[in-house]
Amino acid sequence: MSNLKSAEKLANQEKHFAQSKLRQVLAETIPHQYIVVLKNGVTESAQSIAQQAVSRGGIVPFVYNNAIKGFAIKIASKLVLNSILSNPSVDFVEPDIKVQAFSQVASTGYSRVGGPLSILNGSHPRAVNAGIAIIDTGIDFTHPELNVYKQVSFVPGTSTANDDNGHGTAVAGIVAAEGNVGAVGIAPGARLWAIKVLDKSGTGSMSSIIEGIDYVTQNAGQIDAANLSFGCKCNSSALDTAINNSVAAGVTFVVAAGNAGEDASLWSPASNPNVISVAAMADSDGKCGGLGPQTPYGPDDSLASFSNYGSKVTIAAPGVNIHTTYLGSSYATLSGTSVAAPFVTGAAALYHSLHPTASPAQV
């Protein structure tokens, strides 16, 4: 009898330990979809462990080998989830969650950061020698201002990273528009890597985003900076681990702080200490001093009324009424931390082009 009780106690302890691997997230979850992160030092491949779950009825859309070691999985049975949690190679599992692009469709912002002037006066080359990942809704391949160097999509139902929303194209223009027609970016002509993780509505899954970061990490030798103009009021250990490992591989990550007018510590990836988190400022005259006219989101040189704020914010950049590239070889004027972050991404790329061996911490 005592042996039976001991066995039951051990079984209950093992069950409790397995369940403790399932992380809780404060966000809108995607039903029956999870991100599995393996322990450091596990010798068995992520593909092999994922295949075990597939054999039990799971569907694995992504396997991660670079930014993290693990996989995303869709399951219909708790038995499959329990088998994953019981695997000693698994570090933790978290529910997949929805993530949204930050933007408010509504320019002096470029003048404020000294962007186009550095090109026009010849202090920087017209084609900046840097690789920049735009992890977003994609980029309009046909836009004459944008140098799309590589493209890949991780959105189900799409085969290319050609933009079907406009958000990613707008971000790309602020970073690197060539200035041939209607807009010039901070790092004109830089090599843009269009990495589509958000769909035509500007929404994506955390698992797709991590796959995008995994791809960036795999190509860290060619990508200097990555722009993430999206997020959620959430926490994700898997996302933080992926970003941290990608930064360690040499990629500078710049992210939008968010448009909720809240403390950025509540938002991911803005709260990650290894990223450059960018708030939006209202700038109406391209000059310091706060003497410009009122903007729709506050006085000149003030924090934009929609912008997130707080100790997690690294820097503020112009984010009100920003002129940039858009779908169909057109142009648009946008507001949001989504359009503030690319100013900093472009500046980071410029720095990398002049200091190729600089680490993300030095940037």
Residues taking part in catalysis: 136, 167, 338
Angle ∠(300,332,351) on CA atoms, nearest 5: 70
Q: What sign results for the dihedral spanned by CA atoms 88, 89, 91, 96?
A: negative
Query: How far, in whole angstroms, is CA 289 from its chain's centroid?
Result: 33
Residue type at 202?
Answer: G
User: Alpha helix (H) ranges present in 21-154?
Assistant: 46-55, 78-85, 108-113, 115-120
CB under 8 Å to 191, separation ≥6 — which residues? 130, 131, 132, 147, 149, 150, 222
Question: What tokens does 317 get?
Answer: 């950049």
Residue 319 to residue 334: CA distance in whole angstroms: 8
Who contacts 334 (Cβ-Cβ below 8 Å, separation ≥6)?
Answer: 103, 104, 105, 106, 170, 321, 322, 324
Cβ atoms of residues 346 and 184 within 8 Å: no
User: For residue 155, which of 94, 230, 84, 76 has the smallest C-alpha distance?
Assistant: 230
| Longest CA–CA separation in the chain, Å | 87
DSSP string, 148-162: EEEEEE-STT-SS-B
CB 139 within 8 A of CB 194: yes
Pair of tokens at residue 128: 């900046």
Using only the alpha carbons of the chain, give its radius of gyration.
Answer: 22
